[in-house]
Amino acid sequence: MLDTDFFRRWMSATAAAVDREADRLTELDAAIGDADHGMNMRRGFNAVCEVLEKEEPATPGAVLTSAGRQLISTVGGASGPLYGTLLRRTGKALGDDAEVTVGQLAAALGTGVAAVAQLGGARAGDKTMLDALLPAVEVLESSFGEAGDAALAGALATVPLRAHKGRASYLGERSIGHQDPGAASAALLVGALAEAGEP
């Protein structure tokens, strides 16, 4: 079972990974966007850590809804509302159980990812964060390690794709040959699950 503390560890492991990789995320965004993705993610997840310390949410669902709200209110770029929606909707789907199963988390994350697709209008292969999130959700129930690998593979597989959503899509064909920054950060988020601990 995954308790509230697991979800707090997941958020702080994500914040640490984003902090470590912020320069790389910004470099990826410099190639096909506006060079702010590392900064956006760092600002957002710093704020998430602060709010989780202050509010001490009592359930797994409350940790994620409060993290999501925080991302929406602190990150100006496209990634703020999208990641905010992902976490808020995942949290809402978890309800107010004090502990949840991996199966519940996998289903809830599926709901969150579907909400991201609806909000941003992107589909698999559009060269967005969804290309890391969708394959991760598929295997999350087997193991967090596998989900992290699937997200990473999905992020790397965005290199030859042409962007159809977000700033990178303005480049058209010139977006080909670069990894999508949001897919790279989504792989950090999924990778942080294993750091928070296999159940």
Number of residues that bind ligand ADP (CB under 6 A): 24
Residue 89 touches ligand ADP, criterion: CB under 6 A: no
Cα within 13 Å of Cα(145), Cβ side: 3
Residue 23 touches Mg ion, criterion: CB under 5 A: no
Number of residues that bind Mg ion (CB under 5 A): 6
How far is the C-alpha of 111 from the C-alpha of 119, rounded, in Å? Answer: 12
Our CB check for ligand ADP shows the closer of 2 and 150 to be 150
DSSP-assigned beta bridge partners for residue 99: 3
Find the binder of Mg ion among 2, 8, 36, 129 (CB under 5 A). Answer: 36
| 198 contacts 141 by C-beta, under 8 angstroms | no
| Among Mg ion, ligand ADP, none, partner that 71 touches (CB below 5 to 8 angstroms by kind) | none
Residues from 47 through 86 that contact ligand ADP (CB under 6 A): 77-79, 82
Site string (16-45) toward ligand ADP, x via CB under 6 A: -------------x---xx-xx--x-----
Structure tokens at 198: 């296999």
Q: Which residue is nearest to ligand ADP (CB)?
A: 182
Least distance to ligand ADP from the beta carbon of 12, Å?
A: 20
Burial class (CB in 10 A: 0-12, 13-18, 19+), 160: exposed
Site string (63-92) toward Mg ion, x via CB under 5 A: --------------x---------------
Residues from 119 through 138 that contact ligand ADP (CB under 6 A): 120-122, 128-130
Our CB check for ligand ADP shows the closer of 52 and 116 to be 116
Query: What Å distances lie between residue 80 and 39, 70, 133, 158, 177, CA to CA?
Result: 11, 9, 16, 20, 25
Query: What Å distances lie between residue 113 and 86, 119, 196, CA to CA?
Result: 6, 10, 20
Structure tokens at 88: 């808020």
Q: Which residues bind Mg ion (CB under 5 A)?
A: 29, 33-34, 36-37, 77
Q: Which residues bind ligand ADP (CB under 6 A)?
A: 29, 33-34, 36-37, 40, 77-79, 82, 116, 120-122, 128-130, 165-167, 180-183
